[in-house]
Amino acid sequence: MNIEIFEDIILNTVLIVFPILVYLVLVCYKNDINKNYNNLLLSIALISSLYLCLRFGIIDGNSKVLLFCNIPIVIALMKKKSLLGVLLALINILYCFFIYKNICLIVTIKYLTYFILYLCARKRNLSTESFILSIAVLQGFFLSFEYFFKDLNLTLNSFIELIILVFIYYFISFVILYIFKIIEKVRELNKSIELLEKDKMIKESLFKLTHEIKNPLAVIKGYLDMFNIDNKEKSLKYLNIIREEANRSLNIITDFLEFNKIKIVKTEIDLNLLLEDVYDSFKIILNRKNIKLIYNDREDEEIYFDGDYERLKQVLINVLKNSVEAIKDKGKVEISSNIYKRHIDIIIEDDGIGMSEDTLKQLKTMFFTTKLNGSGLGVCLSNEIIKAHNGELIYTSKEGVGTKVTIRLPK
* Residues of the chain under the 70 pLDDT cut: 1-5, 31-32, 57-66, 128, 145-159, 201-202, 204-205, 207-209, 211-212, 215, 251-252, 255, 258-261, 284, 366-368, 370-377
Torsion, CA 161, CA 165, CA 168, CA 169, rounded to 10: -170
Same fold, 198-259 and 267-410: no
Give pLDDT, residue 375: 59
Give pLDDT, residue 152: 47
Strands 292-295 and 332-339: parallel
Give pLDDT, residue 344: 92
Give pLDDT, residue 194: 77
Give pLDDT, residue 376: 65
> Class assignment of domain 198-259?
mainly alpha
Residue 299 — φ and ψ, nearest 5°? -65, -25
Torsion, CA 315, CA 320, CA 322, CA 324, rounded to 10: -170
Give pLDDT, residue 405: 92
Domain boundaries, the chain: 3-193, 198-259, 267-410
Integer Cα distance of 202 and 211 in angstroms: 14
Integer Cα distance of 366 and 205 in angstroms: 8
Give pLDDT, residue 44: 92
CB burial of residue 181 (10 Å; 0-12, 13-18, 19+): exposed
pTM for the whole structure: 0.48
The fold of 267-410 is Heat Shock Protein 90 (3.30.565)
Is the backbone of residue 232 left (phi > 0), alpha (psi -120 to 50) or beta? alpha
User: Do the Cβ atoms of 336 and 296 come closer than 8 Å?
Assistant: yes
Give pLDDT, residue 95: 84
pLDDT one-digit tens code per residue, 1-25? 566 667 777 887 888 888 988 888 8
Helix (H) / strand (E) containing 366? none
Give pLDDT, residue 175: 82
